[in-house]
Amino acid sequence: TFGIQLKPVIPFGFFDPVTTLEQGTLASTVELKGGMAFGMVVRTGLTKAISLEVGIDQITRRYDVALSNDTNAYNGSTQIRFVGYEVPVTCLVYIRLGEKTWMNNALGLSMDFYPSDAVRNFDAGQVYYYRRNWAQLGVVGNIGVEYRTEKSGYFYLGGTFHRPFQDLALAEVIWTDQYQNYRPYSMSKFINGSYLTVDLRYYFHEDPDKARLRKKR
């Protein structure tokens, strides 16, 4: 069964979305404010209660970055986006709730890819995201409910927690002053790439006759 999915990223305080950097009179915060993931998924039934899913997604994380300097009362902020691609492989277990309603629980791994670094300027500085690795593994956990129709496919609502095994990137915040002189101060810290999403999925209808025909062949 083939499906499409849209997953808004939800910043959740339990997963520590704020990173603080300090050096002397300089202070900066990097905070995950949300984002969006979208892509496709293919589900293959193994038994009546267990399936395997493989997907591919593009995810854009959105961060707010603030920079302050106590010596001249400077306060500035900017926003930076970090783009990645994910190929999750999960095993699903179904629990039937009603005639057409099912609960899904899934666990698996994801191979995450980051094509480039990211950079953004302040009027008095710069923030730079150095990707930790161009590819790395992560663990994926999912829970949700789906409504299955006979002719119109499956409708799914759930949530996913994605945690990379390593930090996402090294965030470097640079102070240059308003005249863009040579950077005299630089702060850096690793950013945790964990996130939570709300999952909206639609699985296209597949005629059972075709499925049986393939099975016979």
Task: Encode 115-153: b = buried (16+ Cβ within 10 Å), e = exposed.
Answer: eeebeeebebbbbbbebbeeebebebebebebeeeeeeb
Which two structure tokens, joined as six digits, stand for 112?
A: 């995450």
Contact between 168 and 112 under an 8 Å Cβ cutoff? The reply is: no
Quick: pLDDT tens for 142-200: 999 999 998 889 999 999 999 999 999 999 988 876 555 555 678 888 988 889 999 99
Per-residue pLDDT at 212 exceeds 70: no
C-alpha 108/C-alpha 52 separation (Å) is: 10
pTM: 0.83
Region for residue 146 given its phi and psi (left: phi exceeds 0; alpha: psi -120 to 50; beta: otherwise) = beta
Task: Read off the pLDDT band of 216 (50, 70, 90).
Answer: low
| Mean pLDDT computed over 24-30 | 87
What is the per-residue pLDDT for 203?
94
Query: What is the reported pLDDT for 92?
Result: 94
pLDDT of residue 61: 94
Statement: residue 135 has pLDDT above 90: yes
The residue ranking higher by pLDDT, 89 or 75, is 89
Predicted confidence band of residue 54 (pLDDT cuts 50, 70, 90)? very high
Whether the predicted pLDDT of 137 surpasses 90? yes
Given a cut of 90, whether residue 213 has pLDDT beyond it is no
